[in-house]
Structure 1
């Protein structure tokens, strides 16, 4: 984590030495959490906003570190439960970007720091006197049920438009288990991983348009 943040800071600091463009971006997240046995996952719409700094390295190749506020999560459903999870992250993607004409492709790692989380819907709330699970509707803070960080890989494509605007789409695939909850019987629940499809618009300032 520290190495990735240091690389991002160095990249931002060295940008004035190269052909660089600063920009702002934002758009739609369509997210789910995968990997839990016995519960089916489905996508939920969220959002992301952020800033980026793009520096040319050689010809059409550039590097683009970003800082984003990004919301992930999704819906999990079983025979007895049906609830949404909403995870708020500060994410730091560091992307290699190849631009040919108006078209670009981008890929790289992303580190996310969990800022907050909440869950709402029908979930297990305890046990009955007979020892069977009890379910009910709840809306609760859930930061303690998720790990404080998330590491992902990012890949995407986009199109540069006039006046510094661009449009793009990405897949952000989580690599590590983000689940940090124990179920009410004290046994660790199975793995959970983030998966987010992003569609965004960006506006660049400075350098070539």
Structure 2
């Protein structure tokens, strides 16, 4: 009886992963940094690539964790500044996925770790002798200006065009403040958040569902 119970529990645990599929994906990021007063934000085009693991649970429902390299950031502009920020993230979305026919919708949290950051353009480079901000056209590392962790909510939809190939689109909305500059002055505001629109293609290995 105990053996039957153990076998039953193992079967119950393993069954959802019997239809699991590994895959690769990549596509376009259209990203901006929002939330800073005094500077207008605009979108910049970047990219993302990654791998995923889709585990079918029950009927049309599945869970899909992913690991991605995602380049994002954006342009910030004011009367005195005009510069681009490039933020290199390792992101881990953990999404619930509902598939009905060829159509799927997906959503869930995403956790991001900043690997490094760069900024280029006309920005504040220090203070003049009289204490007023000094500006210059520079290209510099900026990892220390941003927090390492980023938490976002993800929502999207797509089409499964064949058993192994699909196309999708997502909105990734950052929830926490990622700005970590300590010597803010003038037009700068301490709050900054990621927002990314993604369009991607995905390929799954093995038989599709």
TM-score normalised over the length of structure 2: 0.89
Distance 2:190 2:203 in 1: 40
- Contact 2:20 2:53 (C-alpha < 8 Å) held by counterparts: yes
Distance 1:185 1:56 in 2: 51
Quote the RMSD (CA, aligned, Å).
2.0
Q: Which has the larger radius of gyration?
A: 2
Aligned twin of 1:115: 115
After alignment, is 126-135 or 94-103 more displaced? Answer: 126-135
What is the Cα deviation at residue 17 of structure 1? 3.4
Flag the 1:203–1:118 CA change in 2: closer, same or farther, 3 A: same
Question: How does 1:133-148 map onto structure 2 within 5 Å?
Answer: 133-148=133-148
What is the Cα deviation at residue 186 of structure 1? 10
Flag the 1:15–1:195 CA change in 2: closer, same or farther, 3 A: farther
- Contact 2:107 2:154 (C-alpha < 8 Å) held by counterparts: yes
Question: How does 1:14-53 map onto structure 2 within 5 Å?
Answer: 17-53=17-53
Matched pairs, number: 197
- Contact 2:26 2:49 (C-alpha < 8 Å) held by counterparts: yes
- Contact 2:16 2:56 (C-alpha < 8 Å) held by counterparts: no
Which digits, 9 at most, give the CA deviation of each residue in 1:26-80, with x for residues without a partner?
0000000000000000000000000001011110000000000001100000000
- Contact 1:20 1:207 (C-alpha < 8 Å) held by counterparts: no
Aligned twin of 2:206: 206
Flag the 1:111–1:15 CA change in 2: closer, same or farther, 3 A: farther
What is the Cα deviation at residue 163 of structure 1? 4.5
Aligned twin of 2:3: none
- Contact 2:105 2:156 (C-alpha < 8 Å) held by counterparts: yes
Aligned twin of 1:171: 171
What's the secondary structure of 2:130's corresponding residue?
Answer: coil
What is the Cα deviation at residue 187 of structure 1? 11
Distance 1:171 1:121 in 2: 27
What's the secondary structure of 1:131's corresponding residue?
Answer: coil
What is the Cα deviation at residue 185 of structure 1? 4.8
TM-score normalised over the length of structure 1: 0.89
Aligned twin of 1:57: 57
Flag the 1:58–1:173 CA change in 2: closer, same or farther, 3 A: same
Aligned twin of 2:153: 153
Q: Which ranges in structure 1 are unaligned for 5 or more consecutive residues?
A: 1-13
What is the Cα deviation at residue 15 of structure 1? 8.6
Which digits, 9 at most, give the CA deviation of each residue in 1:142-170, with x for residues without a partner?
00000001000000000001251100000
- Contact 1:84 1:119 (C-alpha < 8 Å) held by counterparts: yes
Which digits, 9 at most, give the CA deviation of each residue in 1:2-33, with x for residues without a partner?
xxxxxxxxxxxx79833111100000000000
Distance 1:119 1:208 in 2: 42
